[in-house]
Chain A
Amino acid sequence: MTRVSEFFIGLLFGWGLLISGMTDPGKVLGFLDLAGAWDPSLAFVMGGAILIGVAGFAVAKKRTTSFLGSAMHLPTSRDIDRRLIIGSLMFGAGWGLAGFCPGPGLVTMGSGEPKAVLFVAAMIGGMALFEVLDRRERSLSIQPGRGQK
């Protein structure tokens, strides 16, 4: 049952992205281009999503297990640190460069668009690079005398 739910929620999310127009990089860049002819659509997408999301998460926060009986995996980190900010700035630069963020990239790859396939391949490369850098950073910080000034 949880597998069915995961699959259909993935499908539904992809439909939402397609209906909203956010799978079109031209539309995303139209929103990010404040100095040009501005397309405010993306703000309406976020608004509609958050409107429902707020209600959903308000219920979720009060629960110890999900309605299908799984554990609740709500984020616990509250740190606002360098990693969060530098990472988000890098993400924004990539987003502005091509108009793709991860979800629309994957959905548009599903349409068979060659440039989206290229984007997803490079994105997975970037994520793999993170794993390598992150592992190195962690292994350095547990060596005695390192990373604790």
Chain B
Amino acid sequence: MLAFKDGDTASFGCLFDRYKTRIVNYCRRFMNDRETAEDMAQEVFLRVYRSAPKYKPEAAFSTWIFKIATNVCLNELRRPKYRYSTESIDVSKTGDGDPPLEIADKLGIAPEEAVARKELDAVVRRALEELPAKQRAAVLLRIYDGFSYEEIAKQIGKSEKSVKALIHRGRNMLKAYLKDYIDREPER
């Protein structure tokens, strides 16, 4: 990022290639809508591009870019269409994730397992969607992207103590939503 700030435009391409999949997946798990998630991920990279002149390496670049992604997601969730929506998004309507055969190919697993995996994906996404926005952000940043509590605190603008509570409450809520899958877990 510092190289890009100093005028090396090619380094922006490297950053984009390195982070695009992680950011799209973060937005995807946040929003449960593929198209919106890709739009938001593109917005994240546009903001990175615009902010380059003001960039100060106070934290790791990954912490910074995920902070931007979190802000983009939280802003998107504030829009009335999400604020007043009480029903979960219909999995069949959202073009949810990759097709089972593509998953099977990608992960080198049997098609039946890929179908089960796709069902699990949908259930997990719906469960995540039930979490309050900041709780969702904290859980995603911890579980899928492995950020520390300190980094998450910077990303979502809360204290480490609040992050600790948010993650624990989030996990307990998800435990209730995904009980059937958790109970099956030792047998897998």
**B and A form one assembly:** no
Chain B residues within CB distance 8 Å of chain A: none
